[in-house]
Structure 1
Amino acid sequence: MKLKIGFIGFGKSTNRYHLPYVWQWEKLEVCKIYSRTRKPELEEQYKPYGIEFTSEINDVLHDPDIQLVSICTSHASHYEFARRSLENNKHVLVEKPFVTTLAEARDLINLANEKGLIIMPFQNRRFDSDFLALKQVLSSGDIGDIVEMESHFDYFRPDYPDNHGKKTDGAFYGLGVHTIDQIISLFGRPDKVYTDIRPVRNPNNPDDYYHVELFYPNFKAIVKTNHLVKIPYPKFTLHGTKGSFIKYGIDRQEECLKAGMTPDQKGFGMDSEESYGQVQFEDDDGKHVEEIIPTPIGNYGRVYDHLYDAVIYGKKKLVSDQEILTVMEILEMGIQGENPKIYTLT
């Protein structure tokens, strides 16, 4: 049985981060793509797939064959398109950030539950290779109980021309949504949150720096992004009662996609051996152990694999309602008022 999909939006997100993976699954079929502005030359490339392109949104929303609508538009429009899709009895996948406010998130989740539909954000970085390596180390138990972990998503991009965007247009909503979701997916809802969110390159623009600490009963997790990092930090640093794990280098799927590679090509997304993570710990006999952790292969398409099982077979969805709301609460609280600050989640 195929899961039939309609896309709202036909920009970089759809073309780079969704369609190349959707094509890998025979059980998925893209029926229609809505774009407010038609792109004939780009559309021509997709003729072999039999997709219908339209500039009429109702062609997607009113199509009885389409079961899932994937929304890949600017995040300010996510709420409107998601609500209209649910009102037309479609399951919904929404690019990150899910929406711009906690109230919008609650409204959409409540409506989806009332109608027995699935709605969730496209948290593809749960399937980053570096994150999968981290999960592997955590699952092994080798480093003991967690004391502290730190996650970085940094760049060196000195130029930041004036754009005077909204607070929701900054790095915190754009990248923090991923790094925070990774932590929430591992450890659940924190007790308290510390945020330092600000622009460091251009005070006329939204934030391009955030330092966020998520406090749990016996440890804390730190997530950071800075656009002025010339010498990179480790991607992940993890300390426990028995040892530590460190991993340099970010998942390479995005790099490969930008270079025009497709997920079925040899070498796609593969990490270099010099970037493999390293773990050091004391075993049960007190012996010092050092191990190299080969990086697993990441696969953003697994989001759609999970969606297929949820829609067709009624399995649990990848990103729970509670996880969606927790991430949105942290995002919304983070940009409100002055920074730095510490707050307790409601």
Structure 2
Amino acid sequence: MKKLNIAYVGFGKSTNRYHIPFVRTRDTFNISRVYVRSLGKNPIEQAALEATGTIFSTNIHDIINDATIDLVVVVTPATTHFDLARQLLTAGKNVLLDKPAVEKRSEMQELINIAKEKNLFFMPYQNRRFDSDYLTVKHILETGYLGRIIDVELHMDHYRPSDEIQNGRQIDGAFYGHGVHLVDQMIALFGVPDRVTYDIRATRNPASSLDDQFEVGLFYADNMKATVQATEMAMTSYPKWVIKGSRGSYIKYNMDQQENDLKAYILPGDSGFGKDAPQDFGKLVYLNQSGDRIEKYIPSITGDYGRVYDAVYDTLVNGAEKLVTDTQMLAVIATLENGFTAQQML
């Protein structure tokens, strides 16, 4: 089996929590190089990789000039993504870009154009396409239990109160930070919406210019609506998913467990990693072909963020279609950007 050489740009929490632990469970990748602005910021993690042959450097040109690198993964602050990705693509490198990938649709289009011109791979790291709850919902929709879908609600809620005034660029706010996941999941399930409505606000401290709450409606054919919502002020839990269809409903509390496990130092490959407990399974209520009302709990399909890397490998080695298509990439960023350019922020 061909093994691909990866280089990471950035070596902070996200690289060490959401990327490297999953790559280490696969024999299809070798972590060849890491670019950091300063060495020794995460000394234990750095030493562990150096012990297996990974080379650390403070010069990004060490990656650019290394012809053995098959894929560069950019995991840096969102405001740096566009310039770094453009530099790497222009230099002839395949790029997997952490999310939110960019701030503007025009930036995404430019990166796509460079990749096409140079016959390179370019894609955002939409790891939440492999959340357990998302995979389970996708399976339920494909089975047709619910009939024609009427309404979908998808939440990403927390309780993180703060009186501080939060200012920054739009890409630093909740709609870009959380919305990039939720909007992508809706577009992956249902396609590009016909129209979108926005409610984007700063609620923890109304004097902030940076949003921390949103409720966005995506409207589709046959009067279907998908609502994506996130807040930092939800002290009591709300269902992660609520789906209503012409023949049934589905409700699921609690989000995918991978992030919680990673924070608790339970790693991919450990027993029980990412698995829902039975009490966290979603409830499906539907009418069967005889018209009988059926209620049952659906075991969650175990998630695995590393499947993004599997998809990248399949594209680079076997020529498979990208997990996230160019059309989807553009639609997600356009949906995020339009929430502000349309001046819908309240």
Distance 1:160 1:277 in 2: 35
Q: Are 1:107 and 2:110 an aligned pair?
A: yes
Correspondence 1:230-309 to 2 at 5 A: 230-309=235-314
Residues 3-36 of structure 1 show CA distances to partners (whole Å, capped at 9, x for unaligned) of: 1110000111111000000011111111000001
Moved runs in structure 1, 4+ residues, more than 3 A? none
Distance in 1 separating the partners of 2:324 and 2:14: 19
Q: 2 CA distance for matches of 1:152 and 1:56?
A: 40
For the Cα contact (< 8 Å) 2:50–2:56, is it kept in 1?
A: no
Which deviates the most, 300-309 or 48-57? 48-57
RMSD: 1.2
CA distance in 2, matches of 1:238, 1:207: 26
Deviation at 1:285, TM superposition (A): 1.1
Q: 2:70 aligns with which of 50, 67, 72?
A: 67
1:77 and 1:265 map into 2 onto residues whose CA distance is 34
> Are 2:213 and 1:212 equivalent residues in the alignment?
no
- Structure 2 counterpart SS, 1:266: coil
| Structure 2 residue 59 is matched with structure 1 residue 56 | yes
> Which range moves more in the overlay, 81-90 or 316-325?
81-90
Q: Residue 137 of structure 1 is aligned with which of 133, 136, 140?
A: 140
Q: Which runs of 5+ in 2 are unaligned?
A: none
Deviation of 1:340 (Å): 5.2
Distance 1:160 1:293, change over 3 A: farther
- 1:7 match: 8
The match for 1:153 among 141, 156, 178 is 156
Paired with 2:325 and 2:252, the residues of 1 have a C-alpha distance of: 28
1:194 and 1:340 in contact (8 A); partners too: no
d(CA) in 2 for partners of 1:335, 1:74: 20
Distance in 2, Cα, partners of 1:121 & 1:292: 33
Gaps of 5+ in 1: 342-346
Task: Measure how far apart 1:313 and its partner are.
Answer: 1.1
How far apart are 1:230 and its partner, in Å?
A: 1.1
Q: Could you tell me how far apart the structure 1 residues matched to 2:191 and 2:51 are?
A: 43
In structure 2, distance between residues paired with 1:257 and 1:22: 14
Q: 1:144 to 1:231 in 2, by over 3 A?
A: same
2:168: which partner in 1? 165
The Cα offsets for residues 79-135 of structure 1, whole Å up to 9 and x where unpaired, read as 111111111211110000011111110000011011111101000000000111111
The one-letter amino acid paired with 1:128 is D
Q: 1:160: how far off?
A: 4.8
Q: CA deviation at 1:205?
A: 4.2
Q: Which residue of 1 aligns with 2:315?
A: 310
Cα distance in 2 between the residues matched to 1:216 and 1:165: 32
Question: Separation in 1 of the partners of 2:333 and 2:208?
Answer: 25
1:227-257 deviation line (CA, Å, top 9, x unaligned) = 1111111100111000100000100101111
1:179 aligns with 2:194: no
State the TM-score, normalized to the length of structure 1. Answer: 0.96
Q: Is the 8 A contact 1:105 1:325 kept in 2?
A: yes
Normalising by structure 2, we get a TM-score of: 0.96
Match of 1:26 in 2: 27
Whole-angstrom CA distance in 1 between matches of 2:85 and 2:171: 18
1:179-202 deviation line (CA, Å, top 9, x unaligned)? 000000011110000010010001
8 A contact 1:198–1:339 mirrored in 2: no
How big is each residue's C-alpha offset from its partner over 1:269-324, in whole Å with a ceiling of 9 and x where there is no partner?
11111110010111111111111100111000000000001011111010000000
For the residues of structure 1 that align with 2:226 and 2:305, how far apart are their CA atoms?
Answer: 24
In 2 relative to 1, CA 160–134 (structure 1 residues): closer, same or farther, beyond 3 Å? farther
Query: Residues of 2 paired with 1:78 and 1:49: CA distance?
Result: 28
Give, as a single letter, the amino acid of the residue that structure 2 aligns with 1:158: P
CA distance in 1, matches of 2:60, 2:345: 42
Identity of aligned residues (%): 42
Asked if 1 retains the 8 angstrom alpha-carbon contact of 2:9 and 2:75, the reply is yes
Q: Tell me by how many angstroms 1:260 deviates.
A: 1.2
For 2:51, what is the secondary structure of its paired residue?
A: helix
Matched residue, 1:344: none
- Could you tell me which amino acid in structure 1 is paired with residue 6 of structure 2? I
Which amino acid counterpart does residue 262 of structure 1 have in structure 2?
L
